[in-house]
Amino acid sequence: MSFHVDSETGRLRRVILHRPGLELKRLTPSNKADLLFDDVLWVRRAQEEHDRFAALLRGRGVEVHLFGDLLTESLDVPAARTLVLDRVFDEREYGPLATDTLRAAFDALPTGELAEALVGGVTKREYLERHPAPASVRFHVMGLDDFLLNPLPNHIFTRDTSAWVYDGVAINAMRWPARQRESVHFEAIYRHHPLFTGAAAGEFRTWAEGQGAHPSTIEGGDVLVIGNGAVLVGLSERTTPQAVELLAKRLFEAGSARTIVALDMPKRRAFMHLDTVLTMVDGETFTQYAGLGMLPSYTIEPGGDGQELKVTDHPPEHMHRAIAAALGIGAIRVLTPVQDVHSAEREQWDDGCNVLAVEPGVVVAYERTVTANAHLRAQGFEVLEVAGSELGRGRGGPRCMSCPVERDPVS
């Protein structure tokens, strides 16, 4: 066994999902925007839909690892627990009067309770039910129902926090504060969980450690491993050119990739990540949102004559040509259903382009994206539908909710 992701559409072998839990029950109409959600989910129904999604993948031979289990098992390793607690309980966050006291209180929790607290969050009221108040100015000015430890509802989108690119993983520095604490959880898992440290796991590289300050941020929804040593990256509102340069430098130095094509995307929430408007469905075919249009693109390659990187600019009309050149083929096929602008916008909002390939020509999609699914079937693709009436309220589809850690190349 070795961990590697060599394509977007080769047979999917192993994936990390996160079953919705307490963190989504913390969403309210007043805090959802700060937590990067547009709506409040019915959690029990979301869990049922997620369970069916996981069962569908298992039924196709995919080994599913649940993030909550991985985190809990990692926290049983003392070095992992120390890493997480040291990173979370920082004086710059809690002040010098409370930090050590709070860290000790959380360190005393049983592993399962600690994992749930780190993801689900803890209010001041909940803390005081078990502990005396620390002598802290910040603690005293908090309201009883203010969060001492904020919940992390976006953990459901396991695609973003870490991204496997060929023979290594990028533990990403996230753009918004609501997601930045997620990275340390994945760092603890990859560095200390027996699944990734055991002899059977083989060796893998780490492209990024998750520790970085704005503006060098990157998220996995913007990273497509399109195969043949090529990577497609969206320069979105959450992924910056600086971070892409750092990723390119490490990939090229290791010989793990030979080219990156970066697309200059609109910087707004409707185009949150590249995979909300463009995903791959086989080795040379993409599904694309009509409203995306054609974008300026940049091919990044190893430099010559002492230069670290070579960057070639392409005008918008050459976007598809630049992607094809990176793949080493004459042209790519781009599928966009014909529909009026309002219907297209609605389906994009419902994650019509955010499909997850389980093998070439077979994708998982939300059942609600009727037109996009019908168009894919008409073009000869098998579409496996999953319910998303509640999961879809989080503005993320099957690709967003899955982090492949082992996937074959496209033969």
Residues whose CB is less than 8 angstroms from the CB of residue 91 and which lie 6 or more positions away in sequence, other chains included: 99
Residue with token string 């990403």: 172
Q: Side by side, which strands form the sheet with 362-366?
A: 356-359, 362-366, 382-386
**What are the angstrom distances between the C-alpha of 6 and each of 11, 276, 279, 337?**
10, 21, 15, 28
Active-site residue, 353 included? no
Pair 397, 355: CB distance under 8 Å: yes
H or E, element range at 345 = helix 341-349
Query: b/e map of 335-351 (b: 16 or more CB within 10 Å)?
Result: bbbebeeeebeebbebb
Query: DSSP H helical segments within 63-129, as ranges?
Result: 67-75, 78-88, 91-94, 99-107, 111-120, 124-128
* The residue type at 169: V
Alpha-carbon distance 252 to 311, whole Å?
13
Instruction: Give me the catalytic one of 327, 400, 401, 410.
Output: 400
**What are the angstrom distances between the C-alpha of 71 and each of 114, 133, 187, 193, 406?**
10, 28, 10, 8, 19
Residues with catalytic function: 400
